[in-house]
Amino acid sequence: MIAKNGLEAAELDAMLAAGLAKAREVGVAATIAIVDEGGYACRLYRSDGTGAMTPAVALAKARTAALMRAPSGALTARLKDEPELLRLTDYLPMPGGLPVRHAGACIGGVGVSGGTGEQDVAVAQAGLEALG
């Protein structure tokens, strides 16, 4: 039998809280999405003052990171040689999505939208760091 790891509610909430604290620190209104390994939403939080598209973008970044098992921004380089990757699903090749890993396996993704690519990555990284 195969055991499967996943994020528990308390871990999801800790990731969200750490991400929101980092967003405040860097001075951006951000939307943060956390998905499971299949790209399905577990948490979505939209801060006051974010743009109308930020929930869709944050979810797409998180989903891209989870399904590609790599940062969403890394997809840009792969598209030069493999543009057909964009036909597979709703991948979004923009910085701000990071895979969530545990025991060597990707168990989800966190995506952020609202700031620059660098700010979004910093907020997502803070969420990952909340896991220890």
Contact 39/67 with Cβ under 8 angstroms?
Answer: yes
Q: What is the DSSP string of 21-69?
A: HHHHHHT---EEEEEETTS-EEEEEE-TT--TTHHHHHHHHHHHHHHHT
The whole-number pLDDT of residue 25 equals 97
Tell me what the pLDDT averaged over the chain comes to. Answer: 93
Q: What is the pLDDT of residues 64-123, one digit of tens each?
A: 999 999 999 988 888 888 888 777 777 888 999 999 999 889 999 999 999 999 999 999
Cβ-based neighbours of 60, under 8 Å, separated by 6 or more: 72, 90, 91, 92, 97, 111
